[in-house]
Structure 1
Amino acid sequence: MAERQTLPVLPLRGTVMYPGLTVPIGVGRPGTLHAIEAALKGNREVFAVAQRENVDEPTTDQLFTMGVVGKIGQVQRGLGGVQLLLQGEHRAAVLNYHEGEDYLTADVMPIAEVPPLDEKDAAFAALYKETRERAMELGERRGLPDEVLHQVLDSVTEPGRFADLVAGYVELPVADKQLLLETMGVEERLRRVLIQVQRQIGMLAAQAEIKSQVQEELGERQREMFLREQLKAIQKELGDDDQSRELTELRAKLDKLELPREARVEVERELGRLERSGRESMEAQVIRTYLEWIAELPWNTRSDDDLDLKHATEVLDEDHYGLEDVKDRVLEFLAVRQLRARKMAEEVETAGECAASKLKDARETVTPSLAGPKPDDDRAITDGKEAKAKAMARGPILLFVGPPGVGKTSIAKSIARALGRKYIRAALGGIRDEADIRGHRRTYVGAMPGRIVSGLKQAGTRNPVFLLDEVDKLGVSFQGDPASALLEVLDPAQNDTFTDNYLNVPFDLSEVLFVATANFIQNIPGPLLDRMEIVDFAGYTEREKAEIAKTYLIPRQLEESGLSKAEVTFTDEAVAAVVSEYTRESGVRQLERQIGAVTRKVARKLAAGQAVDPTIGPDDVHDLLGRPKVHPEHAGEGPEVGVATGMYYTPAGGDIMFVEAAVRRLQGGRKPDEDGDQYAGPGSVSLILTGQLGDVMKESARAAVTYATANARILKIPDDRLGSIELHIHVPAGAIPKDGPSAGVAMASAIVSALTNRPVRSDVAMTGEVTLRGRVLPIGGVKEKVLGAHRAGIREIILPKKNEADLDDIPADVREALVFHCVSNLDEAFAVALEPAKGRIAAEPPILEPVG
């Protein structure tokens, strides 16, 4: 064996050279070509060493430190480089690498292998024999002829050389091949080679088994294909070719769907029935329609969510003015989905890497021709996406509650636009049949799926924004209760297995974003309401209506009327006139109609060639729309005895009302009359209630009278006002029914004012329920009532103490313009609302001194 040498370096990519082997090598890199030329000019020896990484220009750090000294044999030059045969001679270790101008050289020292202690030892002989036999078996499994195997393997009898021979032909990564090269002990190298050979045999056995199974499966499919072709020929002879083609197309469409197991079983059963039935039979038509519904539903089609909060904010602000609380709730909803999506993406990515690693290991056991994914593999790959989508879908179901025209439906459409989802609306008003939600069973003639499944088919995705409009208008009849059918639809814990009566298979609704709307929350059944999160839509203030009109309504109506902003402009005073004098609502629908009426009349004049002032002011509005149609209440001109200002709330918004009380002394007593007015004998108070008051409001009046009479001495009510008197309480606008407990404070103030001759301040409006002991209880609709009072010119408001927190809902500009008095009892309310008595109506009652 030679001593230390300096040889040209031949870097090997993707392989390792072993002593005793002759390997064909293609050389094309310039540095390697120069190294070959230098070797050919010398003794034709090179140092062949493997690269750690597969790079074009390796550095010395990227080469292993042990290789093989090889001698170049036959050389064939071509256009792409040089093809040569390299004969491995012996192992060598690198002492130093030298980088020349054109190629690398290395100082190498030959390394001798470590022979076994005793080649005749039984253990070593058994190891050597087992390695030869397994190498022969591996060659047979690879399909090599026996004579070739014997010729190659029998030509090497030395154990070390035999281990190198087998290592050279075993398919291993470069790092494993290099490890075998660097194993100097012959016995250890034989053992490691045997392990690798056993692994290769096991992999080839598994590959053969898989190949056999695939071929068997393909054989069954080929047989089935052959029979189907025969069936097609028979059907063509019978004239059923068109039906066969339709069935083939329908089956192909259904086979592409990733259906749940229950749906797949049902589809296969119905397909079999359809193939056996006649084309013109009624049953065939029903089955075909059913299968077409199945094929057109979005079982696995979903749209990607756009969870950019900045984009969502821009969309909501662009489409709607105000509604800050609603927008905040929607953005909170999107923020939660964004964080959950991020978390799920991290978890799915981690799980996906593990699954991909396992899948790669499994696919390495099959031949390249069979390495494509099997259906089970594809299902495993999509499991992570399914889990991510379902986990993200879990969330609240929103219920938008508010008066008509405040933007409940349109903001649902904006949510869909912000998310990048499809938008579907189902109008539920007036529905009385449960089948409208769940669908009809296929046993009925003309059966079809319900609105939920039909909407999903229309959307084309399984995760649209689905608006259930007017859920408070659902009816009940002998055909069932549709509200009860919605219980499953709107329950996130159940709707992943929603079963439509027509489909009769579960369909996953968990990814659908359901949004419901309602005007009156009390009309929604309790169990259904419990499944939804309520988002309140309050009415707009007049200022907000004016801004909405200028920003959205006027441009839209100008466009619809064929006008432009250059032709017609509205002044702020004109918009305010339309808002206050021609509309009375919480929303803006009627406002848009009135603006549309103005623009249409202007368009008519322009079309007739009349001169039109492009600037529309309040006088122009009156000329075009006629006299004002709305006459809202205004605060009284000054304090009055027996007249208190109350506040009320309706779905159209809040306003003020006047409660009038008058006292008349009776001459003698009389019995109750036919109207039920309670008259009694001398010393009693008779109460008359007029103005179409409801039962609750009447009870509030009676409670106020009882409080006033029971506390007459404290309230300084004269004795002659507590005799046989008739107390008449009237609430104007008698044609309008009124009810509710919140007028209790106003009634008590009017009654005490009439009994004590103390005027009630006209610039103070009040609301609150009263008890017999004079406590003031909280009420609802504070924001709407306060806005109505502010619009009417009220400057001070009396509210129950427990409604103080509701002041945060009132717009800042309105809150700053008013003075609020939060009271807990009637004494505090009277101190604010009542002024000192006008003149003297009677002597004050004597105060009795205690005896003793």
Structure 2
Amino acid sequence: MDIIINNLQEELSDEQPGYLSIVADSNDLPAINIKPDELVPVLPLRNTVMFPNIVMPIAVSRNKSLRLIREVYQKNGILAAATQKDAKVEDPATNDIQQIGTIARIVRILEMPDNSTTVLLQGIQRFELKEIVTSTPYHQGLVTLLEDKVPSEDNRVFNALIEAIKELAIKIIQNSGMIPPETSFAIRNIDSSEQLVNFIAGNFALKVAEKQRLLEIEDLEERGYQLLEILNKESQLLEIKASIQSKAREDIDQQQREYFLQQQMKTIQDELGGGINEQQIKTMREKAQEKKWGKEVAEAFNSELEKLERMHPHSPEYPTQMNYVETMLALPWNEYSKDNFDLKRAQKILDRDHFGLEKVKERIIEHLAVLRLKGDMKSPIICLYGPPGVGKTSLGKSIAESLNRKYIRIALGGLHDEAEIRGHRRTYIGAMPGRIIQNLKKAGTANPVMVLDEIDKVNADFKGDPSSALLEVLDPEQNSTFHDNYLDIDFDLSKVLFIATANTTQTISQPLLDRMEMIDVSGYITEDKIEIAHRHLVPRQRDNHGIKKDQITIPKVTLKHIIESYTRESGVRDLERKIAKIMRQVAKKIGTEEPYDLIVQPDALKEYLGTPPFSRDIYEGNDYVGVVTGLAWTSVGGEILFIETSLSKSKAPALTLTGNLGNVMKESAILGLEYIKSHAAQIGIDESKFEEMSVHVHVPEGAIPKDGPSAGITMVTALASAFTQRKVKKALAMTGEMTLRGKVLPVGGIKEKILAAKRANIKELILCEDNRKDIEEIKPAYLKGLTFHYVTDIKEVLDIALLKK
């Protein structure tokens, strides 16, 4: 015990354990007898558990605890040592202290060199704390002594358990390196089973909760089993820790061995006249001499190559540096393919691959003509916008062929990372150039035709806005010094012919629109579709399905029936799918040797394609008042829609709008009703009807969202027809925005709307006067069979649309 006392030199925290506890001589333990109503001083312990037959040093600093130990020591009395449930509680009550603790006596009080106080406590017997009666001047409470249930000495199972605990404890001491070696000597010399279990439980680095659980077990055999289980877990953790350390040591040794071998290999390679690294660098220098890059690029390349040369091939940075140098070498610096300036050949290729699209073809021929005369010019940035399936993307291939340039297509749909355009900085793992530079490397020339497909579907998120990164790419004044983050050197894109495609311009940012030459690629009329199908789609699908020319023929009259009854689109994608379906059916008949007609007639389409799904674009007539035909624009082209109005008597007149209408369309209906109310006398409506009738405006196909101002004049006409009971003129449709004063404003999508009107057999159209210029730009073939009425005021619309009866 004197050794323990002499070694207590370090600072100890408040009511916390000190150094290694020792086993007390059982003969030295005093007999205690506590009366039921006797108050016993209670010493709360933090982060430790006191066991019987154990002498343990405890650091004391709380004022109440200091007074308690000094008074108990003077009286040569006893105290009740119990563990706090929460070590942070400064003044614990009954509920803050564990119920089971150990009665102890004070062996000695030590004043430490740092002015702290340490007390040596000797555990005597377990107790149960009933309650703390008073906390003044220190904690005192009522306790009940508890007796341990100790197995007999001839219990062989218990004796084997004690031996197992002893061996496992010694093993843990040897492996841990944390418990003093003297503990093994103490364990071997403890004869009492109870003392051994308590000594190990008190001295090993177990959790406080585990120690408290062991102290609360009355049966010593059960306490031994619980202790053995805890020690087993500790032993397994030590073994795992030792295994991990051993593997880590082996890995370090292996790395050192490999490093020395690599150094030896490098020395051998140097002696043999240079290694693989030197040979690669020599090859790169030879390639660099053939490049047509400028002085700045050459200096940058040589600098990066020298940096690579100084690196060890097995260095982590070596692959990154090698990839960068190889990228610089692979790029087509000032390397251009020779343009073909044969304008007639170019026109022939464009006409061969695409029917119609006159504006686009004319623009490409103009560009070739200027190149032929001037010899050099900055390539323009063209944006083809229009509905899906009209040939915008495939047009890029034809342009590349006509110019004799390489063709590149970059799909921008759904792009949301700016690094896809500008590349990643080389500091990032897995960095690579942007798509522009990557595709130029594939093309091998610096003047390809580059199609930026679906530019209207670029999205912005937390990774940046790709459309903003495209501003530099698509600006003829800036793209001569395009800066890619990975390359970190300016690259000239001014000779690249950029062709962007989009379905709509509404989602493209205004600065990006400003940098491009916008060309409208509108939908096809039925006659155009027939020619496209006859010249391109039918032969292509026939070849795709392995059918010979003389095995099937689809005449133009059948193609017209397919277009009008089985497709509903501005382009020709769905038309091609229907033709492919017919070819599959024919291929099946040829394969199974079934009889079939070599010419597909319109009445045979039901067998091949089923029942015609589309008939809604057929004009429904003017049999009812309050029903007006309008024209709408959608992303897939123009459509006709019907505005239906009905009146019903009501004590509380109201306007009801149905058909999944957007806010702008709802406002058009409200404007129309207000206009009719304010001009009721001029239109010929009895004003009393407004106080008696509720108005219901409905646009059919309620599952489809509808919005926009184009239905303004259509709404007014439908309302006026319902209130005046005058029918609308036959085969008439209209489109235009209105104001509260009754003025008619122009709208967009005129060509698509005209195509929809022709599909529906509409004969007359009412448009705003300002839309006349749009009509003049449309080919006469599109306008054949249509009569146009240009108006500026709602009164003109009503005079034309409503019948006199």
Which of 723, 728, 751 is residue 719 of structure 2 equivalent to?
A: 751
CA contact (8 A) 2:292 2:335 kept: no
- Structure 1 contact 469–516 (Cα < 8 Å) conserved: yes
| TM-score, scaled relative to structure 2 | 0.65
Q: Distance in 2 between matches of 1:636 and 1:259?
A: 68
Aligned to 2:763: 795
Corresponding letter in the other structure for 1:587 = G
Task: Report whether the alignment pairs 1:633 with 2:617.
Answer: yes
The secondary structure found in structure 2 opposite 1:570 is coil
Does 1:489 find its partner at 2:499? no
Encode CA deviations 1:206-258: one digit per residue, 9 max, x unaligned.
xxxxxxxxxxxxxxxxxxxxxxxxxx998541674322222111111112213
Are the aligned partners of 1:636 and 1:762 in contact in 2 as well (CA < 8 Å)?
no
What do residues 31-50 of structure 1 show as CA deviations (whole Å, max 9, x unaligned)?
xxxxxxxxxxxxxxxxxxxx
Q: What is the letter of the counterpart of residue 293 of structure 1?
A: T
Shift of 1:402: 0.8
- Rounded to whole Å, the distance in 2 between the matches of 1:486 and 1:783 is 30
- Residue 320 of structure 1 corresponds to 354
Residue 655 in structure 1 maps to residue 689 in structure 2: no
Q: Is the 8 A contact 1:645 1:762 kept in 2?
A: no
Of the candidates 683, 688, 704, which is equivalent to residue 672 of structure 2? Answer: 704
Contact preservation (8 Å) 2:626, 2:646: yes
- 1:6-21 correspondence runs (5 A): none
Pairwise CA distance, 1:276: 1.4
Which letter does structure 2 place at the counterpart of 1:329?
R
Q: Where does structure 2 lack aligned partners over 5 or more consecutive residues? A: 1-265
- Code of the residue aligned with 1:472 in structure 2: it is D
Q: Do the aligned residues in 1 keep the contact of 2:349 with 2:398 (CA within 8 Å)?
A: yes
Contact 1:496 1:509 in 2 (8 A): yes
Name 1:18's counterpart in structure 2.
none
Match of residue 772, structure 2, among 770, 793, 804: 804
Trace 1:227-246 onto structure 2 (pairs within 5 A). 235-237=269-271, 240-246=274-280
Q: Mapping of 1:416-431 within 5 angstroms? A: 416-431=400-415
Residue 292 of structure 2 is matched in structure 1 by: 258
Q: Provide the C-alpha distance between the structure 2 equivalents of 1:481 and 1:394, rounded to a whole number of angstroms.
A: 26
- Per-residue deviation, residues 391-449 of structure 1 (Å, max 9, x unmatched): x2414210111111111111111111111111111111111111111111111111111
- Which stretch shifts more, 563-572 or 650-659? 650-659
Could you say what secondary structure the match of 1:246 adopts? helix
Give the partner amino acid of 1:528. Answer: L
Matched, 1:555 2:539: yes
Specify the alignment match of 1:269 in structure 2.
303
How far is 1:743 from its partner?
A: 0.7
Task: Give 1:771's aligned residue.
Answer: 739
CA contact (8 A) 2:617 2:756 kept: no
Report matched runs for 1:49-88 at 5 Å.
none
Tell me how far apart the structure 2 counterparts of residues 721 and 404 of structure 1 sit (CA, whole Å): 47
Name the amino acid aligned to 2:633: Y
C-alpha deviation, 1:639, in angstroms: 4.4
Residue 790 of structure 2 aligns with an amino acid whose one-letter code is C
Deviates further, 795-804 or 573-582: 573-582
Q: Do the aligned partners of 2:622 and 2:727 also contact (CA within 8 Å) in 1? A: no
* Partner SS, residue 522 of structure 1: coil
TM-score, normalization by structure 1: 0.62
Name the amino acid aligned to 1:800.
C
Shift of 1:473: 1.0
| C-alpha separation in 1, matches of 2:472 and 2:515 | 10
Match of 1:366 in 2: none
SS in 2 for 1:797: strand
Asked if the contact 1:470/1:517 (under 8 Å) is kept, the reply is yes
The 1-side partners of 2:373 and 2:795 are apart by 53
Deviation of 1:603 (Å): 0.3
Once residues 514 and 543 of structure 1 are traced to their aligned partners in structure 2, the CA distance between those partners, rounded to angstroms, is: 31
Q: 1:588 to 1:816 in 2, by over 3 A?
A: closer
Letter in 1 for 2:373: L
Contact 1:561–1:600 (Cα < 8 Å) also in 2: yes
Count residues with an aligned counterpart.
540
**Are 1:401 and 2:385 an aligned pair?**
yes
Specify which of 510, 519, 525 is matched with residue 509 of structure 2.
525
Identity percentage over the alignment?
48
Aligned to 1:591: 575
1:130-529 matches, cutoff 5 A:
235-237=269-271, 240-341=274-375, 392-529=376-513
Cα distance, 1:415–1:827 mapped onto 2, change above 3 Å: same
Aligned to 1:564: 548
Q: Compute the displacement of 1:495 (Å).
A: 1.1
* Partners of 1:703 and 1:338 in 2: CA distance: 57
Q: Deviations over 1:733-759 (max 9, x none)?
A: 111111111111111111111111111
Three-state SS of the structure 1 residue aligned to 2:748 is: coil
Q: 1:643 aligns with which of 614, 620, 627?
A: 627
Report the Cα distance in structure 2 between the residues aligned to 1:740 and 1:471, rounded to whole angstroms.
23
| Amino acid aligned to 2:292 | E
Q: Which amino acid aligns with 1:495?
A: N
| 1:834 corresponds to which of 795, 802, 805 | 802
Q: Deviations over 1:484-531 (max 9, x none)?
A: 111111111111111211111111111111111111211111111111
Q: Distance in 1 between matches of 2:784 and 2:527?
A: 15
Structure 1 CA distance, aligned partners of 2:271 and 2:729?
99
Aligned mate of 1:737, from 683, 705, 722: 705
Secondary structure of 2:451's partner?
A: strand
For 1:637 and 1:522, the matched residues in 2 are separated by 34
Could you say which residue in structure 2 is the equivalent of 1:29? none
**Pair 813,483 (structure 1): closer, same or farther in 2 beyond 3 Å:** closer
Query: CA offsets, 1:115-164, max 9 Å, x none?
Result: xxxxxxxxxxxxxxxxxxxxxxxxxxxxxxxxxxxxxxxxxxxxxxxxxx
Q: CA separation in 1, counterparts of 2:427 and 2:311?
A: 17
Q: Give distance in 2, aligned partners of 1:794 and 1:403.
A: 22
SS at match of 1:421: coil
Over 3 Å counting, the alpha-carbon distance change for 1:291 and 1:749 in structure 2 is same
Pairing of 1:531-542 with structure 2 (within 5 A) = 531-542=515-526
Do the aligned residues in 2 keep the contact of 1:639 with 1:761 (CA within 8 Å)? no
Conserved 8 A contact 2:525-2:782: no
Counterpart AA for 2:441 = K
Counterparts of 1:782 and 1:400, CA distance in 2: 17
Question: Which residues of structure 1 form unaligned runs of 5+?
Answer: 1-231, 342-391, 670-684, 838-852
Distance 2:782 2:502 in 1: 27
Give the Cα–Cα distance (whole angstroms) in 2 for the partners of residues 260 and 453 of structure 1. Answer: 18
Instruction: Please tell me the residue identity of whatever aligns with 1:305.
Output: D
2:136 match? none
Whether the 8 Å CA contact 2:379–2:495 is kept in 1: the answer is no
Closer, same or farther: CA 468–767 of 1 in aligned 2, 3 Å: same
**Distance in 2 between the 1:585 and 1:444 partners?**
46
Amino acid at match of 1:705: L
Given residue 237 of structure 1, which amino acid in structure 2 is its aligned partner? E
Do the aligned residues in 2 keep the contact of 1:586 with 1:651 (CA within 8 Å)?
no
Q: CA deviation at 1:806?
A: 1.4
* 1:760 pairs with 2:724: no
Query: Equivalents in 2 of 1:275, 1:658: separation in Å?
Result: 75
The answer as to whether partners of 2:421 and 2:470 remain within 8 angstroms in 1 is yes
Name the structure 1 match of 2:179: none
Amino acid at match of 1:291: V
- Residue of structure 1 equivalent to 2:27: none
Whether the aligned pair in 2 keeps the contact of 1:691 and 1:731 (CA below 8 Å) is yes
> Does structure 1 conserve the Cα–Cα contact (< 8 Å) formed by 2:379 and 2:494?
no
Equivalent AA in structure 2 for residue 535 of structure 1 = I
